[in-house]
Chain A
Amino acid sequence: MILLLQYTLIFASVLVLVALGGCFSEHSGVINIGLEGIMVMGALGGALMMKVLPADTSAFMMILLVVLAAIALGAVYSLLLAVAAVNFRADQTLVGTAMNLLGTAAATVFVKAMNTAESVDNVSSTIQYIGAKKAFLVNIGGFEFNWFMLLALIALAAAYIVLYKTRFGLRLCACGEHPQAADSVGINVYKMRYAGVLISGVLGGLGGIVYITAGVSEWKFENGVAGFGFLALAVMIFGQWKPTRIALAALLFGLFRALSNVYTGFAFLSAMNIPSAVYNMLPYIISLIVLAFTSQKSRAPKAEGIPYDKGQR
């Protein structure tokens, strides 16, 4: 039971981080379908940092540097979307899709090249970080507390404050709702959209590293992040683009994702003898059902997905 709680919380943390990332991007008016690719890049940055840091690095430094690496790579990668969507008025869905494919392909090529360079026989795309991962965990009476859970909580509170209590938040939302209005009062829509996308890169990258360290101690980059970026988008829609609701939605989805990790620990679940594939499918099925019931009334930012063209008459 404690295990279920632990996994639920850590997967919910991932979903909260990434969904908040999507939330910032969409409030600025840019649809970020590329979160999946951003997660892969963040995961890659974090995993590489764990690999290169010596084993005796203090836990604090380990966390700090890994987080910074994930954030940096995620943010840089999100620039691909920002440039295309803001400056070149590209189709945001197309570019986001390309980023998802590119993220996995680039990470695979890179990790394989690295592994092959270390030992010619190693053509896998896997990075191991079993030792380094321990830095994130604190054992509290059987419950493995992960510092990332705290980080997600902080991100949640910060997102709430930034969106609703600051000048930046007011202006960001204006750009996603009515960019012409924002422009007419002297707000630079392009800059705000860049900011929104970059924040989504930061949070998406962070979510990526949390995801690959959540349940396992090595990651095969060929698999990307298995649609988790899209689950986060579903969480965001279900959460109606609002931080507090996103948190609740993330807990629900996290629970179903956690089930596939721990269902064998429940006597009645393992007794039912359901194939593990069904548990693997569960989060996707749940999200489809949830979306079917909530999308009808969804209130997305009005101008999202529409490129802003200052010179347009």
Chain B
Amino acid sequence: MKKQKTPLLRSNAVQSLLASLLCILMGLLIGYLVLLVINPAGAGEAIQTIVQNFFTYSKPQTQLKYLGSTLVKTAPLLMCSLSVLFAYKVGLFNIGAAGQYVVGAGASLYCALALGMPWYGCLLVAIAAGALLGAVSGLLKAYCNVNEVISCIMLNWISLYTVNMLLSRVKETASPYTMPLATTNTKALLPSMGLEALFSNNTYVTIAIPLAILAAVVIWVLLEKTKLGYELKATGYNKFAAKYCGMREKENLILTMVIAGGLAGMGAALLYLTGFEQWQCTQSSVPGMGFNGIAAAFLGGLNPIGTIFSSFFIQHITSGGAYVDKTMYSAQISDLISSLIIYLCGFVLFFKTYMNGRLDRRAEREAAKARNAKAGVAEGGEEK
């Protein structure tokens, strides 16, 4: 029982980091190949643009401003990835983060535009709406044994159509977009607490960003330090053992989906209450934020703190995609890269097993060598 120092390569965190970097590199590489196939002339420049994002602007002032814009959209993405991560720790695949995000958007905007509520009210209702939708999936799983992936997908579409219907009541007459917050209800805008000054007066930079980071820390503490986290993770690892020791499996399952849903719903509010975007009431596909959340969650090694960085990266390349030369490529190239990254994340477990196997073999060889050397010494000693 000697305390041994774990070699660097053995550490789970290091392995996760390596795996994530490898996923990013391979994702970018394949993305680059796709660009090459489409149009070899601009591929190098385009992939550079995607990776650079706001650095494509030359003036530091402008760079800072658009860094701010990227951060504005990182906040909701981080919330969505926390939602996915939290559910995954308990053994659930919350692909419904997308739908929970949609109802969060619907609830916050409706409260702000139709009911004239202040921002904190809108935020709370958005959390509640997301949580409610999560609860539906949780209940269906716990009491009807419905696979959460399928119920979540169905709910994603149901949410989209419902929210489109709901927000059509508060849309501009001439366009399919909802009315802007800045002219309709300024009380509903998230306060900035002076943060915009740091980003060249990018007025969309608000407390949403620190709130999202705070949420990541809270989720980490919840999972790692509390009794609830101990129970939830035990349920995720082995629900039979959890039941055996008297944990309430069904209640925990539903609670998990409620929390996950609340996180995604809050994410939507953190974006739409900045006024950065308006909802398009004729949308015919579910917004990608929730799905990108899956990418960020896995890329972050399923660690809430890691997720902060991976969310920024995913949003960074998604925003960067908007800058590529539209005469050659489309902005969806970023979606392509992030979905490739999700795909590659499926190989992480194998990668880790493989690496540990290699390390094991090496350790064994060294141990054998040491044994042989020792045996030689011992024999020599006996002869003497």
Contacts and interface: CB of A to CB of B under 8 A. Distances in A.
Interaction A to B? yes
Interface string A71-106: 000000000100010001111011101110110111
Given A98-B346, A227-B157, A277-B161, A109 B336 contact: yes
Interface of B: 34, 38-39, 93, 95, 140, 144-147, 149-151, 153-158, 161-162, 164-165, 284-285, 288, 291, 294, 298, 326-330, 332-333, 335-336, 338-340, 342-343, 345-347, 349-350
Interface stretch (A112-120, A141-149, A204-212): A112-120
A223 interface: yes
A84 B145 contact: no
A296 interface: yes
A107 to B, nearest CB: 9
A298 B342 CA distance: 30
A99 B343 contact: yes
Given A101-B339, A116-B327, A284 B157 contact: yes
B343 A113 contact: no
B339 A227 contact: no
Nearest to B341: A98
B29 to A, nearest CB: 15
Nearest to A288: B154
25 contacts: A89-B349, A94-B342, A95-B343, A97-B291, A98-B345, A102-B336, A113-B39, A116-B326, A116-B328, A117-B39, A123-B330, A222-B285, A224-B285, A226-B157, A233-B150, A237-B150, A280-B157, A281-B162, A288-B154, A288-B155, A291-B146, A292-B146, A295-B144, A295-B146, A298-B145
Contacts of B350: 88-90
Contacts of A106: 34, 336
Interface of A: 33, 80, 84, 88-91, 93-95, 97-99, 101-102, 104-106, 108-110, 112-113, 116-117, 120, 123, 125, 222-224, 226-227, 230, 233-234, 237, 275, 277-278, 280-281, 284-285, 287-288, 291-293, 295-296, 298
B161 A291 contact: no
Contacts of A230: 150, 153-154
A234 B154 contact: yes
Given A84-B346, A296-B145, A102 B339 contact: yes
Contacts of B150: 230, 233-234, 237, 287, 291
Contacts of A88: 346-347, 350
The 7 A-B pairs with the shortest beta carbon distances in the complex, nearest first, are: A90-B346, A98-B343, A101-B339, A98-B342, A105-B335, A102-B339, A112-B330
A90 to B, nearest CB: 3
Contacts of A275: 165
Contacts of A292: 140, 144, 146
Which DSSP category, helix, strand, loop or mixed, fits chain A's interface? helix
A88 to B, nearest CB: 5
Contacts of B147: 237, 291, 295
Contact of A109 (B291, B294, B298, B332): B332
Contact of B347 (A84, A93, A117, A295): A84
Contacts of B342: 94, 97-98, 101-102
A14 B78 CA distance: 37
Contact of B151 (A80, A226, A288): A288
A97 B147 CA distance: 14
A105 B336 contact: yes
B154 A227 contact: yes
B157 to A, nearest CB: 5
Contacts of B349: 89-91
Nearest to B353: A89
A90 B354 CA distance: 13
Given A113-B330, A280-B161, A285-B154, 19 more contacts: A84-B343, A88-B347, A89-B350, A93-B149, A97-B93, A101-B335, A101-B342, A105-B332, A106-B34, A106-B336, A112-B332, A113-B328, A116-B327, A123-B330, A125-B330, A222-B332, A237-B150, A291-B151, A293-B144
B271 to A, nearest CB: 20
A94 B93 CA distance: 8
B19 to A, nearest CB: 13
A280 to B, nearest CB: 5
Contacts of B284: 223, 226
A11 to B, nearest CB: 16
A125 B340 CA distance: 20
Contacts of A84: 343, 346-347
